[in-house]
Structure 1
Amino acid sequence: MNAPHFSATRRSVLATLAAAGATLAAGPALAQEWPAGKVITYVVPYPAGGSTDVLGRNIAQRLGPLLATNVIVDNKPGATGTIGAAFVARAQPDGLTLLGTTIGPQAIAPHLMGKLPYDPIAGFEPVITIGTIPHILVTAVGQPFQSVADLVAAGKAQPGQLAYASGGNGTILQMQAELLQQQTGTRFIHVPYKGDTPALQDTLGGQVQFLFAPAAAALPHIQAGKLRALAVTSAQRLPALPQVPTMGESGFKDFVVEQWHAVFAPAKTPAAIVQRLNAEIAKTLKDPAVTELAGKLGITLAGGTPKQLGDLQRADSAKWAKVIQGGNIKAD
Structure 2
Amino acid sequence: MNSIRRRTLGALAFSLLALACMPAGAQGGWPGGKPITWVVPYPPGGTTDILGRAIAARLGSALGTAVIVENKAGATGTIGSAFVAKAAPDGYTLLGTSIGPQAIVPSLLQHMQYDPVKAFEPVTLIGNIPHVLVVGAGLPFRTVADLLAEAKARPDTLSFASGGNGTILQMQGELLCMQSHTRMTHVPYKGDTPAIQDVLGGHASFMFAPAAAALPHVEGGKLKALAVTSAKRLKSLPDVPTMAEAGIPDFVVEQWQAVYAPAGTPQPVVQRLNAEIVRILKEPDLVAMADKLGVSLVGSTPQRLADTQRADLAKWRKVIKSAGIKAD
Aligned to 2:65: 69
Residue from 20, 32, 35 that aligns with 1:36: 32
Letter of the structure 1 residue corresponding to residue 71 of structure 2: N
Q: What is the aligned counterpart of 2:192 among 180, 196, 205?
A: 196
Higher mean displacement: 317-326 or 283-292: 283-292
Shift, 1:30, TM fit: 4.2
1:88 alignment counterpart = 84
Query: Is 1:161 paired with 2:157?
Result: yes
Pairing 1:255–2:251 present = yes
**Aligned amino acid, residue 57 of structure 1:** R
Q: Which residue of 2 is the match for residue 7 of structure 1?
A: none
After TM superposition, give the deviation of residue 113 of structure 1 in Å. Answer: 1.3
Q: Matched residues in 2 for 1:57 and 1:49: separation? A: 10
- Partner of 1:273 in structure 2? 269
**What SS does the corresponding residue of 2:298 show, helix, strand or coil?**
strand
Give CA deviations for 1:124-172 in whole Å, capped at 9, x if unaligned. Answer: 0000000001100000110110000100000011101111100000100
Equivalences for residues 203-214 of structure 1 within 5 A: 203-214=199-210
The answer to whether structure 1 residue 234 and structure 2 residue 230 are counterparts is: yes
Structure 2: gaps spanning 5 or more residues: 1-6
CA root-mean-square deviation: 1.9
Moved over 4 A (4+): 29-32
In structure 2, C-alpha distance between the alignment counterparts of 1:41 and 1:284, rounded to whole Å? 18
Letter aligned with residue 37 of structure 2: T
Give, in angstroms, the shift of residue 56 of structure 1: 0.4
Aligned 8 A contact 1:85 1:99 in 2: yes
Aligned to 1:225: 221
The equivalent residue for 1:8 is: none
The range that moved more, 282-291 or 101-110, is 282-291
CA distance 1:207–1:64, shift in 2 (3 Å): same
The amino acid across from 2:190 in the alignment is K
Aligned-partner Cα distance in 2 for 1:232–1:226: 17
Larger deviation: 280-289 or 293-302?
A: 280-289
Aligned residues: 313
How far 1:31 sits from its partner (Å)?
9.1
Unpaired stretches in structure 1, ≥5 consecutive residues: 1-10
State the alpha-carbon separation in 2 of the partners of residues 290 and 330 from structure 1.
37
Cα pair 1:127 1:275 within 8 Å, conserved: yes
Equivalent positions of 1:1-332 (< 5 A) are 30=26, 33-332=29-328
SS of 1:303's equivalent? coil
Alpha-carbon distance in 1 for matches of 2:287, 2:95 = 21
Identity of aligned residues (%): 64
C-alpha displacement of 1:109: 0.3
What displacement does 1:283 show? Answer: 1.6
Q: Distance in 2 between matches of 1:107 and 1:300?
A: 19
- What SS class does the counterpart of residue 234 from structure 1 fall into? coil
Contact 1:31 1:273 in 2 (8 A): no
Conserved? CA contact 1:31–1:272, under 8 Å: no
TM score, norm. by length of structure 2: 0.92
1:190-221 alpha-carbon deviations (Å, 9 max, x no partner): 11000000000000111110000001100111
Per the normalisation by structure 1, the TM-score is: 0.91
Q: Distance in 2 between matches of 1:302 and 1:258?
A: 12
